[in-house]
Amino acid sequence: MYGTEELLTFRQSCREFLQLEAVPYLEEWEKQGIIGRSFWRKAGEAGLLGIGVSPEFDARGSRDYRYAVILTEELIDLGMTAPVIISHNDVIASYIDAHGTEEQRQRWLPGLCSGKLIAAIAVTEPSGGSNSAELGTTAVRSGDHYLVNGRKAYITNGINADLVLVAVRTAEAQSGQGTSLLVIERDTVGFTRGPLLRKIGWHASDTADLCFSNCEVPASNLIGRENMGNFYFMLGMPRERLSIATVAVASSEILLKETINWVKKRKAFGQSIGSFQYNKFTLAELDTEVKIARLYLEDAVSKFNDNALSIVDAARVKLWTTELQIKVADRCLQLHGAAGYMNSSFVGKTWANSRVQTIYGGSSEVLKELIGKSMGL
C-alpha cells in the first residue's frame, strides 16, 4: 500500500531528517519535557508540517493520508514523541484548512506549515473531556470581540503553542449545538498557561493547563459558524482517531519486533525464552492480531482517502488498535522481565507511552457507547 516511488522517497526523507534533527536530542527533550522550537522550523523546511492541507500550502500538493501515516511510523520507529506533531498536523491545521475563512487560512496556515507557528487544540477541562457539549469555558460576544473565561486541562503543545484552537460554549447546549471554535493567539491579554505537567509517558510532549480570564479574542478568530463546533468536531474525528490508530499499529509492530529479537537471545534453563511453549504461543497470538490490525488500518486509510471513513468506523479502528497496543506493550514488557522495566528500555518507554492511547481522542468507553448506539442499542 505504501510502496509507490513517491511514498518511498518521502519515507526515506523522513527517516534521514529525524536521524539528523531529532534522534541526537531525544534524551534532552525528554528531560526538559519539551521539544525545542528550532526543530519545528527545521521540520517545516523539510516539508513535514501541514501534511494534507490544501496544495497551495503543502509542498506535496496531495491530500493522500498515507504521507501522514508514513511520518507517524518513522516518528515511532525512532522513538520520537509523536503526539506533538500529530496534534499540530492532523487536528489543528486540518480544522483551519477545512473550516477557516480564506483570510484565516492565509494568515495562519503558512506559519503552521513552515514551523514558525506551533498549534494546540484545547477541549478537555478539569471537570471532563469526552463531552464537548458540557463545556465550562464560555465566550460571550461583545462588539467585535469575544470575552472568553474558563480553563482547559492537559493540553498537548500547551507550552509551545502560538495558536490554540479552543472549544468554547457560546449558547446553551441543545441538539448538539452551542459549542464554537475560537483561535486564541499567544500574546492575547487574559490568556495564561500553567506550569509544564509531568506525565507517565510521552515525556517530550509539552503539556499544560490553559487559563482564560476576560480574554478578548477578535470575532475574526471564530472558525466556521458560531454554535457549530460539535458539527466540526464530528467531521474532524475520523482523521484524529485514524492518527491515533496509526500510532497504535506502528507501536505494536515495533514492540513485537524488538521482543522477538529479545526472546531469541535471552536464555533461561538452558534455552531461549522464546522457545518455551507459553511464550511462543503468546507471541504467535500477538503477531496474528498485529497483522490483522495493520490490514484494518490500511483499509481505514483507504476509506479516508476516498472520503468514506465514517465516524463509527473511525471509532472502531481507534478502539481496536489502541486496546491491542496496550495488550502488546504489556505482554512484551513481561517477556523482557526486569530489563524492560528500566527507564532506558525502549519497551518500557513504549509501554508507558501506550497507556494514554485509550484515553485521549475519545476514551474506549465513549467509543463503545458510540458504536453501540450505531447498532441500535
Catalytic residues: 240
For 45, the grid coordinates are 523546511
* CB of 239 closer than 8 Å to CB of 68: no
